[in-house]
């Protein structure tokens, strides 16, 4: 049985991943420092569905599924903790979700930007040093973001670009053009991970993930005790999830700008499939591997129309509002990213459609009384002075 260590196991993706890998036979240990829950409290936001403490969720899973997940509270900024957990477990694979995940939060001010970059970059550095010292054969699977690429006027490859300059060629990192301090932290991570592979001989898969949507996975559906942290607010709520909540509570769908911005997307259940595929297809020693982790491409207006049409089909009349874009991003742009590697390895994507959106709307409607409309509209502007 392979030993898996999951960093950030309390999160929207971390908790379903923890259960999923346990369910298919891995020996799973999960850690978290609950920093996201602290940010939620500080900003008066909460997930739509009631979620138990991590400790209670682990106990519930171990009881219901008759599997054994181990949980440890700890902070990646504490290098002694990181060293000890890596030394004691010597995991075959490390799934690294353990970072501050919100672009808007990172742009709220100096304090939030510094926290995001310090937490994300230094935590990952501590992990790299711990793996080098105590478990150099561990496969690090790091959650990155498609946002590191920005919206270049050329096709986006999977991590690398063949460059010809003055009659010479080389393979270079695909140029980074992040749009927030959060995305910048992911770009710094990627360079640090690549360096550790090149110089220390570590093994890393960097997963540049698109925007994730969805309320449930196979494991969360077993019991409400196993819910994950579905967000719709202006800090942590991803766009499809936000639109669905707005539709249910009768609020016009809030499209930033013209809605012509194009992004990549995937269902939360496809995230779990991609993680499993990555575990089974590790890089070689000293290899830094990049996979673009998404299944579909849409512009924001297309998604708003899909949610609107799905809502209307079940009798929820929904309007669309185009509001001032709080972000600094191109409205109209070329966008053609590649995602061939996961498809070649057998990923069968779960595509978004009206039937799926309706199922999400119906679940959200069951929790309608918990929606806090006041947390939805954007409060943070990229260009505001701090």
3-state secondary structure the chain: CCEEEEECCCCCCHHHHHHHHHHCCCEEEEEECCHHHHHHHHCCCCCCCCCCCHHHHHHHHHHHCCCCCEEEECCCCCHHHHHHHHHHHCCCEEEECCCCCCHHHHCCCHHHHHHHHHHHHHHHHHHHHHHHHHCCCCEEEEEEEHHHCCCCCCCECCCEEEEEECCEEEEEECCCCCCCHHHHHHHHHHHHHHHHHHHHCCEEEEEEECEEECCCCCCHHHCHHHCCCCCCCCCCCCHHHHHHHHHHCCCCEEEECCCCCEEEEEEHHHHHHHHHHHHHCCCCCCCEEEEEECCEEEEHHHHHHHHHHHHHHCCCCCCEEEECCCCCCCCCCCCCECCHHHHHCCCCCCCCCHHHHHHHHHHHHCCHHHCCHHHCCCCCCCCCCC
Please indicate whether residue 186 is annotated as part of the active site: yes
Torsion of CA 316, 365, 376, 17, to 10 degrees: -130
Instruction: Note if 162 is an active site residue.
Output: no
Does residue 145 have an active-site annotation?
yes
Catalytic-labelled residue, pool 116, 124, 145, 220: 145
Q: Which of 97, 105, 182, 232 is catalytic?
A: 182
Among 36, 142, 186, 203, the active-site one is 186
Q: Report the catalytic residues.
A: 145, 182, 186
């Amino acid at each position: 049985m392979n030993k898996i260590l999951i960093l950030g196991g309390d999160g929207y993706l971390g908790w379903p991943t923890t259960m999923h890998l346990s369910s298919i036979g891995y020996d799973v240990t999960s850690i978290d420092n609950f920093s996201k829950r602290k940010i939620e409290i500080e900003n008066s936001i909460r997930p739509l569905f009631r979620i138990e403490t991590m400790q209670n969720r682990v106990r519930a899973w171990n009881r219901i599924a008759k599997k054994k997940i181990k949980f440890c509270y700890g902070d990646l900024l504490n290098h002694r903790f990181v060293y000890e957990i890596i030394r004691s477990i010597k995991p075959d694979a490390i799934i690294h979700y353990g970072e501050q995940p919100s672009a808007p939060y990172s742009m709220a001010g100096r304090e939030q930007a510094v926290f995001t970059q310090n937490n994300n970059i230094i935590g990952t550095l501590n992990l790299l040093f711990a793996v080098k010292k105590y478990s150099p054969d561990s496969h690090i699977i790091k959650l990155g973001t498609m946002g590191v690429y920005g919206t270049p006027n050329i096709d986006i490859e999977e991590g690398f670009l063949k460059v010809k300059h003055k009659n010479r060629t080389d393979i270079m990192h695909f140029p980074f053009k992040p749009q927030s301090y959060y995305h910048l932290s992911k770009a710094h991570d990627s360079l640090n991970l690549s360096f550790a592979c090149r110089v220390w001989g570590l093994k890393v898969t960097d997963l540049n993930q698109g925007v994730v949507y969805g309320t449930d996975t196979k494991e969360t559906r077993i019991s409400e005790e196993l819910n994950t942290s579905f967000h719709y607010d202006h800090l942590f709520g991803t766009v499809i999830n936000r639109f669905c909540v707005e539709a249910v509570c009768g609020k016009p769908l809030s499209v930033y700008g013209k809605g012509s911005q194009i992004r990549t997307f995937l269902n939360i259940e496809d995230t779990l499939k991609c993680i499993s595929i990555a575990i089974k297809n590790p890089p070689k020693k000293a290899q830094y591997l990049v996979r673009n982790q998404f299944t579909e491409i849409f512009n924001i207006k297309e998604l708003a129309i899909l949610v609107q049409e799905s809502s209307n089909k079940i009798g929820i009349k929904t309007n669309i509002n185009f509001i001032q874009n709080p972000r600094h991003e191109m409205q109209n742009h070329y966008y053609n990213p590649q995602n061939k590697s996961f498809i070649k390895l057998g990923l069968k994507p779960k595509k978004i459609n009206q039937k799926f959106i309706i199922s999400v709307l119906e679940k959200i409607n069951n929790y309608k009384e918990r929606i806090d409309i006041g947390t939805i509209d954007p409060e943070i502007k990229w260009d505001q002075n701090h």
